[in-house]
Chain A
Amino acid sequence: METLQFLMDGFAVALTPTNLMFALFGAFIGTLIGALPGLGPANGVAILIPLAFTLGLPPETAMILLTSVYAGAMYGGRISSILLNIPGDEPAMMTCLDGYPMAQKGKAAEALAMSAIASFAGSLIGTIGLILLAPALAKFALTFGPAEYFALFMLAFATLGGITGKNPMKTVIAAVIGLMISTVGIDIATGTQRYTFGILKLYEGIDFILAIVGLFAISELLFFIEERAGAGRKMIKVGKLMLRPKEIIAAVPTMFRGGVLGFIAGVLPGAGASLGSFISYTLEKQYLGKKGHFGEGDPRGVAAPEAGNNGASSGALVPMLTLGVPGSGTTAVLLAMLISLNVTPGPLMFTQNADIVWGVIAALLIGNVILLLLNIPMVGFFVKLLSVPPMYLLPMVTMVAFVGIYSISHSTFDLYFMIAFGVAGYILRKLEIPMVPIILGMLLGPEMEKNLGHALVISDGDWSILWASPLALGLWIVAGLGLILPYIVGPLLRKRMRAAIKEEPTSD
């Protein structure tokens, strides 16, 4: 009941006219970002951070804006999966399997509407799960000491590559690079200048917002130039919507199962939204067996992965809000926003910044209703966005990135820094070094070092304190598994995901 009271307070925060307006704006912009070619959810949220920051929004409003963008981008991403058979991001891959065949049969509008409803159902289930699980987890996390936190951070890095990740060693390298960047500046504990080379600008450390915008937005521009994918795609027509209520009702159990599975996958470290949509789709296919015609445009084949993927994106917020440890790229970017707003993420947030946490959760619920209302009538408009040529779009995105970074500090120096991060991001992405662990390293570095220090002070320099308690030891073991499992399970799982896609008659 206590939770319900908090949730009511959260609604009171989220339903103020300003916050409601920002939620609407965020949902709209998010869908736009998701639908536009070449802009994933993480990119979209990243370029909006500096803007949200410079507008001087109060923390809860800024977070509501960005969570709405996050939810909206997930909605928008499916449009290109269904109409073009091109997934906007990895989790949307499974939506192609039945969405595109539906579109080919002239049922594009139905597929889009079905996926919007399934997304809504998935998010709703995920958010309810978040409401039930998060406070309990936060309470449990209060028992964590510095050693447990240190182990938890290790776990976060180890599982970030995900079970489907390619080379875990590259995740380690990326994480260490991020952590190293975080050590630049004056050491908080002792005041020692570290790696500043006497440059005044480096004394306060390297701002991770610069790094995020550079790594995501600028490197994306360079990738598009390399692939010469500037011309864009031809326009697609979407017919009139003729979805019967019966069809929606028939898919409700599918959505429910998908949403629950997705939520679980989202909460678990290292699984993430791609696994959420994959599991939801394959299990649903097995469950329905001969009764469904999956792969040939079964509406339930659209509903299952969409519910799974959106359930997972809400689930991914659980570790981010309760432990301060994000499970995905986009939630890492949201964490960056929290830190720059001077909110310390972690279990204490639930007591110290209850208005932010519950405001965000309430905003997720409201945002989903807004998204559903926005998406069904406006789908034609969002479809048009698919054909915006990247040659006009990406330069504009770059400009927005410049404007955002410049208006934070009014310093050209920061812009050079951002460009440097962009170039480095391009090279590292070429070498298949993942970007997200770098960002996470920069974000978690100071906390990690602080906890290491505290733990060692408690034990008087005895390193074994880091794995002395059963809880810490357990976290270390899971972290170890997170690094080793991808070697064993990863190739197998990837093969099955590929096989699932290949056996579908996607070519016409």
Chain B
Amino acid sequence: MTARGDRILGLGLFVLAVAYGWGAQQWPEPFGGAETVGPETFPTLLSVVLALSSVYLIVKPDPDAHWPVGRTAAEILLAIAILVVYAFLLEPLGFVISTTLAVGALCWRMGAKPVRSLLIGLIAAVVVFFLFNYGLELSLPGGLLEFE
């Protein structure tokens, strides 16, 4: 078993710890002069702890988990992309259209039939939209379907 995952993580965290700790030393002295406890005390403490524990991780890593490769990795990336696009289109397209597309696409990629997925998405979107806008009086964006 290789243990690359933990080593890379350890290295990344070490860099983060150093950058974070260094950042804490750069703040201007607070108004009223330096005191025993400043805004940098706690972050400095944290960066030391993180640096030490990340070194431990590099020295004594756990065996690697099974990372997805090939198609599975592509599916995960696609799902993340769907989520980002969903967030991006939520306001311009409106809740109902964007949710139908996003939920439909996710259902489809998780193994449902395409037409059924879209239908499920549409039903879910319409139900939630009406529930929120009229039942709970929280406004979700109408987008293209806005009539008023």
Which residues of A pack against B, CB within 8 Å?
Answer: 54-55, 166-167, 169-170, 172-173, 176-177, 179-180, 183, 187, 189-195, 218, 221-222, 224-226, 228, 230-231, 389-392, 394-396, 398-400, 402-403, 406-407, 412, 415-416, 419, 422-423, 426, 430-433, 448-449, 452-453, 456-457, 460-461
Beyond A180-B43, A431-B6, A456-B37, 8 additional pairs, beta carbon < 8 A: A183-B46, A190-B31, A194-B24, A194-B43, A226-B72, A395-B106, A407-B138, A426-B76
For the complex of A and B, the 6 pairs showing the least CB-CB separation, nearest first, are A461-B36, A391-B110, A395-B106, A415-B87, A230-B110, A230-B111
Known contacts A226-B76, A453-B37; A431/B111 CB under 8 A: no
Known contacts A399-B128, A419-B83, A452-B42; A176/B23 CB under 8 A: no
Which residues of the other chain, B, contact A448 by a CB distance below 8 angstroms? Answer: 42
| Pairs across A and B, CB under 8 Å, 20 listed | A170-B57, A187-B39, A190-B31, A190-B38, A191-B30, A226-B75, A230-B112, A392-B112, A395-B102, A398-B83, A399-B99, A399-B102, A403-B140, A412-B88, A416-B87, A423-B80, A431-B9, A452-B41, A452-B42, A460-B36
Let me know if B84 and A225 touch, CB within 8 A.
Answer: no
Let me know if A391 and B111 touch, CB within 8 A.
Answer: yes
Residue in A172, A222, A431 whose beta carbon sits within 8 Å of that of B5 in the complex: A431
CB distance from B22 to the nearest CB of A (A): 12
| Bound: A282/B128 CA distance, A | 46
Residue of B nearest to A222 (CB): B76
Which residues of the other chain, A, contact B35 by a CB distance below 8 angstroms? Answer: 457
Let me know if A457 and B37 touch, CB within 8 A.
Answer: yes
CB distance from B109 to the nearest CB of A (A): 7
B97 within 8 Å of A (CB atoms): no
| Interface 0/1 of B47-65, CB less than 8 Å to A | 0011001101100101001
Residue of B nearest to A172 (CB): B53
Main secondary structure of the interface of B (DSSP, over half): helix
Known contacts A394-B110, A431-B9, A453-B41; A180/B46 CB under 8 A: yes
Highest count of chain A CB atoms <10 Å: which of B24, B38, B111: B111
| Bound: A166/B107 CA distance, A | 34
B136 within 8 Å of A (CB atoms): yes
Let me know if B121 and A190 touch, CB within 8 A.
Answer: no
Q: Please provide the chain B residues from 59 to 85 with a CB less than 8 Å away from any CB of chain A in the complex.
A: 60, 62, 65, 67-68, 72, 75-76, 79-80, 83-84
Which residues of the other chain, B, contact A400 by a CB distance below 8 angstroms? Answer: 128
Let me know if A172 and B124 touch, CB within 8 A.
Answer: no
Which residues of the other chain, A, contact B36 by a CB distance below 8 angstroms? Answer: 456-457, 460-461
Which residues of the other chain, A, contact B53 by a CB distance below 8 angstroms? Answer: 169, 172-173, 176
Which residues of the other chain, B, contact A412 by a CB distance below 8 angstroms? Answer: 87-88, 90-91
| Interface residues on chain B, size class | 35 or more
Let me know if B107 and A395 touch, CB within 8 A.
Answer: yes
Which residues of B pack against A, CB within 8 Å?
Answer: 5-6, 9, 13, 20, 23-24, 27-28, 30-31, 35-39, 41-43, 45-46, 49-50, 53-54, 56-57, 60, 62, 65, 67-68, 72, 75-76, 79-80, 83-84, 86-88, 90-91, 95, 99, 102-103, 106-107, 109-112, 120-121, 124-125, 128, 132, 136, 138, 140
Let me know if B120 and A392 touch, CB within 8 A.
Answer: yes
Which residues of the other chain, A, contact B68 by a CB distance below 8 angstroms? Answer: 226
Which residues of the other chain, A, contact B125 by a CB distance below 8 angstroms? Answer: 399
Known contacts A176-B49, A394-B110, A430-B67; A190/B30 CB under 8 A: yes
| Bound: A411/B103 CA distance, A | 20
Known contacts A169-B53, A169-B57, A431-B6; A221/B79 CB under 8 A: yes
Known contacts A173-B54, A218-B83, A457-B37; A228/B111 CB under 8 A: yes
CB distance from A209 to the nearest CB of B (A): 16
CB distance from A155 to the nearest CB of B (A): 16
Which residues of the other chain, A, contact B39 by a CB distance below 8 angstroms? Answer: 187, 189-190, 192, 194
| Bound: A400/B75 CA distance, A | 22
Known contacts A402-B86, A415-B87; A394/B46 CB under 8 A: no
Residue of B nearest to A402 (CB): B86
